[in-house]
Structures are given as structure tokens and as C-alpha cells.
Chain A
């Protein structure tokens, strides 16, 4: 692709012990993760790179996280539905492995699936409810957020009617949650509800 620019990755205490933070080395840590998963991907990996990564895997005795447990779960990117084996220690997702025995993915991952762990560990995640106050993002508590939102919704409903609300739901939530989103619209009293399948 047209040129690469350096990504600045700020230090984040939550994962500093596990992840190489130097941007130049971040690629290697990615490869450790993804080559170990026999990635099938559009990302080019030279033999030298994957060789290094494999060596890294062999050196890793698998004992780095004593007392950890493995949770079988499903990748949250595309609809192929690849298996993921997530390693959890003391309530922290520390490492992921491909599912060689999953009947569809059979140990395959693309670069997104191989990076699934960062959905949880990314320092870019929102951690608190927020609202704009005079244009500036301001942290607020859940109670205040839900209180203000529900009061405004109720007021709009009383003044303008239930169809003054539109809910854009999601193809990225569980089937159970998607069902609740549609049910919510019904109980709210409107058909103004839709999600990504429309587009």
C-alpha cells in the first residue's frame, strides 16, 4: 500500500508487562501473536518473519501464566465464526490461541481474529460514561447518564410521540441482545429501528 506511517502507541499500564511498546517492535509482537495462529490473511509474511515468530513460540514453554484457564469463544469480526481459545489468568485475558479443532476455522485466523485480544486490552476503549458540556467531553457516572437520558427520552415521547426516537441497533451484539433491541422498539411504541443488515 501507499506508504506506511508510524503509529504512535502511548504507554498503557494495563498491558505494559506483556506487549512490546516500541512501535518498531510492535510489528514483531503482532507476528508472534498471529503467526502462531497460522494466519491465512492478506498480510504478507515472509518466511523469515514467520520463522522468527515460530521460534518465539517454541521458546515459550506455555507456562508463562500459571493457573490460567482457557475459554472457548467466537471471533467478533466477520460471519465466518472462527473459534478462539482465550487464556485467562486472574480475570485478565492474557493470551489467545487458534482453535485447531474448530470445525469451520480449523486453526485459521486472519489478522483481525489474531488481534482479537486488543478488543479488550486496547487503551482506546471507553471506560466511563461521558457527555459533552459546553462542547467538551466530560466524564459522568452511570446513574447520572441513565437518569438524564431516560428523562429526556420520556420528555420527547410525551411531547412528540414515540416515533420521534430512532434506534440503530447492531449486527455486532449477540442474537439475544439483537432480539432485545427489536423488542425494545416494540415496547417503546415505534418501528423506527434498524441495523447494519439494511446497508
Chain B
């Protein structure tokens, strides 16, 4: 999120697209409804389903799954055609606007209707609501990202906010509601196959930086790899690691994957789940570290699987980063129960036995505080520097002193700080940055311009135009020594830049001069390294509209996509919709979380929501002779099938089937309760929706496309 949940209280309108906050982030609703009631802010909900959030909407927009980019580009086009864009914001702080606007002209309200099913008049109406009620807070979740064009869809959201001038403003922003409790923190630490912590990437410079932070010789780390080239090569992802085991698609690695450690990661949230199960059973070694067995334990039946009982997060301590970028300390409530060990203990034991404990823990004596300090030392890119363990704990102890509307402490020991010191928090004196890219405040007081990351100027392929990428003259934070755009800081300490100067003198020098360490630049509408430089619609791989494939085809197949061959064009079969006539989409329910290993083992939650189901429209159900509560089969083009209860409801339209993805413990109609360790099967089992979610991955990130596949339905 660029802003915070509390900051939504200041918005004048809200648009949620692919987010069902009322179920997925219920406690955020108090801030959302505050804006609705007090500011009279309209709530626009764009979703294939009439969700519980849609029930609170002033405008519900039913969209065909996977067509979000077309709708947003349509809004952008309509706003520009009507002259409602924020011309001054664009002139001073945005790059590539003209090139983007040219492409947006394709998305007339009528063409948007053709692609998305949204009436042209409604696109016009929504554009007007946004233009007349600024600032708008824009929120998306996995409904926006889990598509083969997810990276284009999310960029379109950002561009819409740039065009409206809603970035860097209280009440505005791109406010992605993150899912799991610490998915922001874990993302920032980059438990990711394409980058080192702090989004440093995998370049030699990135490795050398982190080796300095770890206080180990770069040659030592290099020696740990098979060859140096593997240090710089993106690894397999969570979405497709199992292909490295199965090798049914060509892999680009010198060895198949033979061992897997799955640590705090429910297995049935993977699409193509029956293929995942196949891979589990082919591994030489499979280690599951979790407080509960997870469905992986029930589906892996070979003798090479181990279960290590780690404690829950209430039996250990450490920091967690909320969706608002706030860092909170999760104090330990009780010691690990039974014979459990906490995560740190298990890691320490493993590292010791593998023989690199001395190097790994060189500067880590006190756990977890010394780890926080190591993060403070090295994570300069996103400003995880000023949030020391002492300060985080002080915020927790004094959380009552923070103002609801501003999140700033009013008096007391944290006076002036923003709650949780949202990153970037450049120094131990810095209050945190409550709103990203806000140039109305000095940098030392939480202000920030756009980052200078992509050079000083660019000549666009599509227009031949050359543009200065720094912010325009006169646009900078109050107190900035340079009254306009400037480049990122380097050579304050010779041979280093703001990202690599471990003395952090560069950060302090920038702040002293009223400037941001990363420069003051423009936000881009054109990303010249992406296959689609400006976001455009492309039909889902498995499209219910074969007539649109010729105009909006997917990408070429990718031979080495995170080390595995990934099909795009060869997978887009126009005939598929004849046999699989319904669109399958998935989502959350309030009572469960993720793959549900925790919540289905929680006696209160298990009772509240004990049944897996599929939502089906009454007309569809009546035509097929399906009644509420009947068992039905949902089947995917890949042969995945689940047997679930029919929930007959107008939440979905006649072309769409919805399933929650939290269930597990059954496979293709069969209960696996007997395969769990005795006494440890969850209270509630059900078919995992992800057995049916289709093949398909984002072109940039390889996120799985679970929201716009196809399926067929039959009576069970």
C-alpha cells in the first residue's frame, strides 16, 4: 500500500477491483465505511461476483474475469477524452503519458463493453465518479494479479491513479491489501527466487552488498553455488517448482529438484494441485515444517517425508509488517507447546548440522533482535533502517498514543513518529513514511518524491520522443536543497551509493539536505523492458470468448521462464470453451485463511464454515437440474476434478462458477483423513479448489492464473 488503512478515512471515493475486503480484510472495513459515511465517498466495487464488499458498494460493476486491464484502460481513455486528467501532476511528475494515452484510445467504452461485459454507460459513469470525487483510494488484491497479464493489470491500476493525480496524497494511493499477516515483511525480505532481501536483485553487486552485510567473503558464497552463473539466474518459483521434480516440461537446470523443504506454506494454495501431489511423491526428501500437518502430509505417502512441528507465531517473537507497511512487534505469548520448537531454533539446528553456522550467525547472537539489526543494516533500498527492535517495541507498548486519523503519536515516548514507522524509515530519528511519494512534507518528516531508478532520460520506441525522467523544476519536498528533480545519491562515501553505503552516511546526508536518497523523478506509464510497454488487454489463456483471441492474443511461449518451459500461445485453444463453457474463479471467505491448515484445525472456525462449495447461478442450476446442497462435479481442462456442494446464488452470473480455495483433505471425491497423522487431521476437510484452477502464469512474475480459467459442471 502506498497509503494506510487508516488513511482511507480521508478519501473522497474508493474503487475496489479484485478485492473482497469485507471477507478478506474485515477489520479494514471500519475505515472504509468511515469514509463512506462521513465523507459521503462512493464505493465502486468491480468484481465478477456480487461479494460481501459489493453489498456495501454504491456502484457494483460486474466484470468478466481477466478483463480488468481493458476496463481500466477504458477508464483512463474516458478520463482523458473528457479532459479530466490532472494535467499539472502529469506535466511535473509523470513520464510516458503521451505514449500511454495513445494506446488507451483503443479502449472506447464500447470496446470495453465488448471485452469486459460492462455496459459502456457504466464505464462512463465510473470515470465521472472518479473524476468528480478526488482523491480516490484504489485497492486490488489477488483478483487483480492472478492472471497471465497480472503485471499489466496492476500497472494499469497505477497509471489510472497517476492520470487522476491521486498519488502521494492523503486519501489517494494504490492500496493493495496484502493477504497473509506478514506477506509484506516476507516480500520485503525477498523470500523470492529472483532477488536478494530488499529487492536488490541477483546481480554481482547485489551479492557483494549482502556479503558485506553478512560479514562473509563473497568467494565463500560463490563457492557454495554449483557455478557462478547460478547465482545470477532466477530460481524456480512456488507457482511451478514441481515441474523441476516432474520434468514433464523442459527444465533449464543441471539437475532436477530432488528435495523440498516446505516451511510455513500450505500446499493446496497451488494451482494444478494434483500435479503438485505427484511431485511430492517423487521427491527423495520432503520436509514439512508447520504447526499443523497441512494437506501435503496427507498427500505425500512415500517414506521420505518428515513433519517438523514448529510452534505458532504466538510462541515466538519478532517483527511483522502489515499491509500499511507498519512494523509491529509480535510479542511471545507463551513458550512452544508440546515438543514443538520455534522457527529460529529449527533453523539454527539445521544450519549447525549443515556446517555453516559460524558464517551464517556471525553477527547474530541475540535472537531475534540481532536479526532485526542485520536487516536494519543492509536493507537500504526500502528504508528498513530506523526501525530498531527497541523502537518497534516502544511503539507496541505505546500504541494507544497514536492518532486514529493521522497515525502519528501525539505526545508520549513516540511523539511525532508514525505508527509502526512505515518504510522507508531512513534513520533512527526518522518518523517513518505514512504515504509514499507525498511531496507536501519534508523528507525528514515522512515526505517522499518518486524514485529515480531508470536513468535520467528516455527515448521511446513507439514515438521517438525523448523525455527527461526527473521531476519538473519547482517540484520537490519542502526544504529540499534542489528545487526540482534530482538523481539518486552516490559517492557521498566514495565508491558507494545510497543503496550500498553501509555506514548509512549517504542516507543521513540526503535527509540533512532535505532530499530523498533515491532521487526525485517521474513515475512511468511506459516500462520499456516489459513485453507490453503500456498495459494492453490479452485474452486469458483459456478464454470463454474465442472470438476475441485473434484481436487480443496471449504471448509467445517462454522457453526459460524461471527455469522451466512455460506455455502461452500454444496453450490458447479457441475450441476449449466448447467443452468447458464456464469461467472458474476463486476467492476467500472470512472464516478461513490460505490453504486452511490452521483455520480448519481451529474448532471455532471449523464449526462456522464446515463445507466446501461452489457458487452457481440459479438459472444455470435450474437448467442443469441442480438444487441447493446437491453434490456436483467441477472439472478443469487439465482433468482436475472436485466434488462439492452446489450453492445456488445470484452472487455469480450464469457464466461463472466460484469456489473458495481454503479447503483440503480430500482429493477427487475421496477423503484423506486416514492419511494424516492419527488425531491430527483437521476438523473440516473438503476438496481443494486448486485441483481445478487451470494452467496459466503471469508473463513477468509467473504468478498463477487462478481467477480466469475454464471448467465444466455436472451432477455428481
A interface list, Cβ under 8 A from B: 1-5, 7-10, 19, 23, 26-27, 29-30, 33-34, 40-43, 71-83, 86, 88, 91-93, 99, 101-106, 108-116, 118-120, 122-135, 137, 142, 145-150, 152-154, 156, 160-199
Contact = CB atoms under 8 A, between A and B. Distances in A.
Interface stretch (B72-80, B446-454, B498-506, B680-688): B680-688
Given A30-B608, A150-B354, A195-B265, A123 B226 contact: no
B375 A176 contact: yes
B313 interface: yes
Given A115-B605, A175-B321, A187-B360, A133 B303 contact: yes
Nearest to B648: A2
A51 B116 CA distance: 46
Contacts of A123: 679
Given A81-B323, A131-B306, A168-B262, A178 B598 contact: no
A173 B186 contact: yes
A146 B349 contact: yes
A192 B292 CA distance: 24
Contacts of A105: 27
A93 B259 CA distance: 37
Given A187-B224, A191-B230, A196-B269, A80 B354 contact: no
Interface residues of B, number: 180
B354 A122 contact: no
Contacts of B302: 132
Contact of B181 (A75, A122, A162, A190): A75
B531 interface: no
Nearest to A34: B604
Contacts of B285: 149, 152-153, 156
Given A125-B340, A168-B260, A5 B255 contact: no
Given A126-B309, A169-B264, A81 B180 contact: no
A23 B293 CA distance: 24
Contacts of A154: 354
A171 B186 contact: yes
Contact of B306 (A129, A164, A196): A129
A184 B351 contact: yes
Contacts, number: 518
Q: What are the 4 tightest A-B residue pairs by CB atom distance, in nearest-first order?
A: A174-B318, A170-B264, A127-B338, A81-B322
A77 B321 contact: no
B324 interface: yes
Contacts of A196: 179-180, 183, 186, 238, 265, 269, 594
A134 B301 CA distance: 9
A174 B320 contact: yes
Contacts of A4: 607, 610-611
11 contacts: A80-B26, A81-B420, A124-B292, A124-B601, A124-B683, A126-B292, A137-B307, A148-B306, A177-B318, A187-B221, A187-B360
Contact of B333 (A23, A83, A93, A111): A93
Contact of B214 (A148, A183, A199): A183
A164 B257 contact: yes
Contacts of A199: 146, 238-239, 269-271, 703-704, 706
A2 B337 contact: no
A166 B224 contact: no
A152 B647 contact: no
B185 A198 contact: no
Contacts of B314: 73, 76, 86, 93, 116, 119-120
B359 interface: yes
A198 B192 contact: yes
Given A1-B609, A172-B264, A40 B27 contact: yes
A190 B230 contact: yes
B437 interface: no
A197 B192 contact: yes
B115 interface: no
A170 B265 contact: yes
B282 to A, nearest CB: 13
A129 B29 contact: no
B193 A194 contact: yes
B182 A26 contact: no
B459 to A, nearest CB: 34
A172 to B, nearest CB: 5
B319 A175 contact: yes
Contact of B317 (A128, A148, A174): A174
B397 interface: yes
Contacts of B333: 71, 73, 86, 88, 93, 120
A182 B186 CA distance: 9
A44 to B, nearest CB: 10
Given A1-B647, A74-B330, A79-B177, A43 B292 contact: no
Nearest to A14: B337
Contact of B399 (A83, A91, A181): A83
Contacts of B320: 74, 81, 174-175
B602 interface: yes
Contacts of B331: 71-73
A128 B338 CA distance: 7
Contacts of A7: 603, 606-607, 610, 683-684
